[in-house]
């Protein structure tokens, strides 16, 4: 058994997507379809990481119990692009958190689903008694030269930092991790352009259904017991389409962050969860369904904070 807690995040200054130096007609269409703002940080990747580490540092009750530190980002060479040595930087993060003996490693490649994979790894490490606590940190900053509009144009990318703890005991009144699953389908690796969007969307829906049903089955739950289901922040009509395909009722949906910061890559579902805590009660079940081009995460959590029903 493992528990998730101390979810902290950092977003940069918010800007209107119409200010982006990209196709104005496309931006106009995205605005009409429900997107509004994106987040941009002025700091570099390491500074962004330290900003979110600052939030979680005081929440770690016993640094001696933290055995692993998982650093998640969306490009394997993200630190090198910032001209940082990964080994040096990761150990500096450990020193900052005062967990010098924790083993650091990196999870990447799976883009918008990387953080859910990190959670699966962390919960497994705790479940097999290799450690009592794992700290997960995710950070992503879009280079100035890169476009922020996704291809296909389903959202706009935001800069974001995220941190959380996975523990063996429920020391922080967070969430019990009921199940944490991850699927991958290499058939979608060759998707290259918008002309294949129909094929791509069809398979996204199919695999999303598969991970959702598998997560519920492995948790011995029905979808009706879920208080909330969280997706990545794509255009509202797309997210609503996924909800419809999964038979998720309107009161189980969460859409309010989409116009606020659009799509923060692998941080979306966890930020959405953090921003929804005030609406959860003790014992509520929630589901996180992050996805990338080829991978899907399915996470079922039980809330152990809040007010007893």
pLDDT in tens, 19-62: 999 999 999 999 999 999 999 999 888 899 999 999 999 888 88
Q: State how far the Cα of 182 lies from the Cα of 298, in Å rounded to an integer.
A: 6
3-167 and 175-303: identical CATH topology: yes
Q: Is the pTM higher than 0.85?
A: yes
Q: State how far the Cα of 199 lies from the Cα of 257, in Å rounded to an integer.
A: 28
Phi-psi region of 56 (alpha: psi -120 to 50; beta: other; left: phi over 0): alpha
Superfamily of domain 3-167: Thiolase/Chalcone synthase (3.40.47.10)
Contacts of 219 (CB under 8 A, 6+ apart): 178, 179, 285, 300
The residue extents of the domains of the chain are: 3-167, 175-303
Q: What is the CATH number of domain 175-303?
A: 3.40.47.10
pLDDT in tens, 256-275: 999 999 999 999 999 999 99
pLDDT in tens, 130-139: 999 999 999 9
């Amino acid at each position: 058994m493992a528990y998730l807690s101390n979810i902290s995040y950092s977003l940069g200054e918010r800007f209107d997507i119409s200010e982006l130096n990209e196709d104005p007609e496309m931006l106009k269409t995205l605005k009409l379809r429900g997107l509004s703002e994106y987040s941009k940080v002025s700091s570099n990747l390491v500074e962004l990481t330290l900003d979110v580490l600052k939030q979680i540092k005081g929440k770690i009750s016993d640094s001696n119990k933290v055995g692993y530190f998982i650093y998640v980002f969306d490009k394997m060479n993200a630190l090198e692009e910032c001209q940082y040595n990964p080994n040096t930087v990761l150990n500096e993060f450990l020193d900052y958190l005062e967990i010098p003996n924790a083993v650091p490693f990196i999870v990447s490649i799976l883009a918008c689903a990387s953080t859910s994979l990190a959670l699966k790894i962390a919960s497994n490490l705790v479940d097999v008694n290799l450690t009592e606590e794992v700290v997960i940190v995710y950070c992503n900053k879009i280079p100035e030269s890169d476009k922020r509009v996704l291809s296909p144009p389903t959202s706009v990318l935001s800069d974001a930092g995220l941190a959380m703890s996975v523990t063996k005991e429920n020391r922080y009144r967070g969430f019990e991790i009921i199940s944490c699953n991850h699927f991958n389908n290499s058939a979608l690796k060759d998707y290259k352009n918008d002309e294949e969007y129909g094929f791509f969307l069809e398979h996204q829906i199919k695999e999303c259904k598969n991970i959702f049903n598998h997560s519920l089955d492995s948790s011995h739950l029905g979808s009706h017991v879920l208080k909330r289901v969280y997706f990545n922040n794509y255009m509202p009509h797309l997210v609503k389409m996924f909800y419809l395909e999964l038979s998720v009722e309107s009161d189980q949906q969460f859409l309010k962050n989409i116009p606020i910061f659009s799509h923060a890559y692998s941080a979306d579902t966890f930020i959405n969860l953090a921003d929804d805590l005030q609406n959860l009660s003790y014992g509520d079940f929630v589901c996180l369904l992050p996805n990338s081009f080829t991978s899907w995460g399915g996470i079922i959590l039980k809330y152990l904070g809040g007010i007893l029903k």
